[in-house]
Structure 1
């Protein structure tokens, strides 16, 4: 994060006044429209807009908020937006920031999902997605390399990553349990061998102490909502749990426990609780459940969904919206399939993103009071190392289903390819995409576009 800050920034420059809510809305809308590239692109964009250019929030407070958003389940970039919006304008500010961060991408994803089910079996569209899958594999591997370099600082962290990979791939250990054990390992490790578990990649580092409007307001005692009160937690729980789970319970009561609507609400509500480490970390778990347990999608379609999510602004976890759309579209009952798919997408969005507001509004005041807690930072570092292992499993899962036409399950859910079923065209495109991303440092959107075009040309040339 230190690279975000110009060293010629003076720490004692007078911070501006806090923005009006209407001014903040314009900025949050801009961030929502431009937030391509996942957290790696979204977090620097917010830093540039909110810390460097407008100085609404100080450097130390921004990093503190980011550190603890990383500890929460769900998309950390959106939660960071909610957190900063809440700092500036209380609950209404958090709502505005969080909704505008995800709304543009959700609308685009809905349109793309509709086009996918209507025209996805056309030869041209199939060829486009053939190329997109290769780019998605390269992007996932690039994320693995990027996060691995940041998180695996010593042999202990490498060991945690390796054990997490073995646990999820070979032993079929549930993803939430892996994250829980990693966090517990980091917390205990800080007490036993703090030198090995301290210095999380998300720490403050050697940075300029840029102050923002929020910092000055806090120093003047104008931000009373940052201090937890006796009734804060009960009040937030009483308000937000019914908002989050009320629609799920109502749907269960109206449609029964076996309906696709109840399955969507229940499954993605669970995902909202266990999605530590962002979209890449949980996608393998979601893909296996959506493909094998529920039968909503084919393996290749999950990769298609991630390709669509990569091309839209907003959190990559919007791929879950695609899964909910397809599931409801194919189990529409008496409803029009497109209407059912749209409702499935809306339900998925609700149970995926509503908890983000709940976590921030519930924990925000306590997070502000926990600055510099070394044990929590150590737990975060261990969780991030485990996430590397989980993403490694995701990369392997995608590679098997992109490059090979046949994959067999053997023992405890491990997947192995049928070597004779290799698709040399997919392998060639995947290698080219990885060279473009890892060696040539070509951006995500140009790589996706180039791979899609290459897929069309390669399939046409091979007949």
Structure 2
């Protein structure tokens, strides 16, 4: 018995050493996490669904850095809160084991490569955009982008609301009503309707979840704040920052949801870009890896140089970052909150309606002849029936076709 008591501290040390060894083998360093997201941001092509799929395959299945439960929690939070889905999940994964520093480095590393790429393309575009061959390339690319965003808008609508059918209309009639109203309003006014989006979320929340008065009061304060945030008179750079921050706060799921916000202010209201330049900006986001919403860097550069690009990108991802790190500690309560879910469903239906409306507005100005209509049509067919084809390949083919058409005719 005495010997056992003497050896007890040794057994404890051995047990602790075993735990430390196991932890060191299974745990990843902050440097490794940052390098992973830097790599994913450099070579990760595809829509948000593809990017979050890469994260699951790499970090959950292969490297086992993140548990299945942690991944699902991050994905659920990314779907509930505003922000580009893939970037938000990356920020949450960084937060899981390394808190705010991990979230910051993971998000920054994921966005940086694609930002530098669109910045370089913006410089080339501004220097040589007037040349015939560049115009020929984007003649085909613009039509290809119309095909891509048309199909993406259709798929997002089916995923979020469902197929347009009698059964779906009966079950989700209010969501379809929001969708149709915003589609019509966006098409007619060609402007983003922030207050209508918020109203749709609040109405659906009040009808479906019947939250306490305290929640409604908070929401009303939010409306007043958001309605006044745009009322200022300052230089272009500050205007860029505030506008893109506002736009970034209403991106749910896909980066393409930002299109109606960008189009109405960048093209219609402020006339920072022409219709063709805006379409080219979306195309640039399609041919670069990382989040699609990085098109804001290209737009910011065309409007106000490198400073404009940095301001636009930082402002767009700031709401995503803040929402993630502020909600992550309380996630388990948020994910089951009926009021939050209902608000997100209502606002998502409204945003999707605006997205479809903006696609129609852009298409009627970009599909200018039979060749561009055919390019857009065949892009949609290719994405529907060639399952493994990716957007950058589609864009490259559209560019080649555009050059051939311009040189022949």
TM-score, structure 1 normalization: 0.72
Alignment of structure 1 residues 98-177 onto 2, 5 Å: 98-153=107-162, 154-155=168-169, 156=172, 157-170=175-188, 174-177=192-195
1:425 match:
371
2:44 match:
35
CA contact (8 A) 1:179 1:276 kept: no
Distance across 1 between alignment mates of 2:407 and 2:96: 54
Task: Label 1:111 to 1:294 Cα distance change in 2 as closer, same or farther (>3 A).
Answer: same
Residue-pair matches, total:
356
Q: Deviations over 1:309-363 (max 9, x none)?
A: 11111221111111111111xxxxxxxxxxxx11211122222223332222222
Q: Verify: 1:181 aligned to 2:181, yes or no.
A: no
Distance across 1 between alignment mates of 2:344 and 2:27: 31
Report which stretch shifted further, 28-37 or 105-114: 28-37
SS in 2 for 1:170: helix
Q: Verify: 1:459 aligned to 2:403, yes or no.
A: no
2:219 match:
none
1:446 match:
393
How far has the Cα of 1:370 moved from its partner?
A: 2.8
Distance across 1 between alignment mates of 2:27 and 2:381: 45
SS in 1 for 2:153: helix
Q: 1:68 aligns with which of 77, 101, 125?
A: 77
CA contact (8 A) 1:321 1:346 kept: yes
Q: 1:260 aligns with which of 213, 236, 246?
A: 236
More helix per residue? 2
Q: Deviations over 1:29-77 (max 9, x none)?
A: 2222222223122111112112222233333332332222233333221
Task: Label 1:45 to 1:182 Cα distance change in 2 as closer, same or farther (>3 A).
Answer: farther
Task: Label 1:265 to 1:149 Cα distance change in 2 as closer, same or farther (>3 A).
Answer: closer
Structure 1 unaligned blocks of 5 or more: 1-13, 193-255, 329-340, 405-422
Task: Label 1:17 to 1:374 Cα distance change in 2 as closer, same or farther (>3 A).
Answer: farther
How far has the Cα of 1:429 moved from its partner?
A: 1.6
CA contact (8 A) 1:138 1:437 kept: no
1:420 match:
none
- Runs (4+) of structure 1 exceeding 6 A deviation are none
How far has the Cα of 1:450 moved from its partner?
A: 0.6
Distance across 2 between alignment mates of 1:151 and 1:75: 15
Q: Deviations over 1:253-304 (max 9, x none)?
A: xxx9442223222322322333345432221221121122222110111000
Alignment of structure 1 residues 53-452 onto 2, 5 Å: 53-153=62-162, 154-155=168-169, 156=172, 157-170=175-188, 174-191=192-209, 257-328=233-304, 341-404=305-368, 423-441=369-387, 442-452=389-399
CA contact (8 A) 2:301 2:307 kept: yes
How far has the Cα of 1:150 moved from its partner?
A: 1.3
Distance across 2 between alignment mates of 1:138 and 1:430: 4
Task: Label 1:61 to 1:393 Cα distance change in 2 as closer, same or farther (>3 A).
Answer: same
Computed over aligned residues only, the root mean square deviation of the Cα atoms, in angstroms, reads 2.3
CA contact (8 A) 1:108 1:312 kept: yes
Task: Label 1:172 to 1:138 Cα distance change in 2 as closer, same or farther (>3 A).
Answer: closer
How far has the Cα of 1:171 moved from its partner?
A: 5.9
TM-score, structure 2 normalization: 0.80
Distance across 2 between alignment mates of 1:172 and 1:138: 20
Distance across 1 between alignment mates of 2:191 and 2:203: 16
How far has the Cα of 1:112 moved from its partner?
A: 0.2
Distance across 2 between alignment mates of 1:186 and 1:47: 32
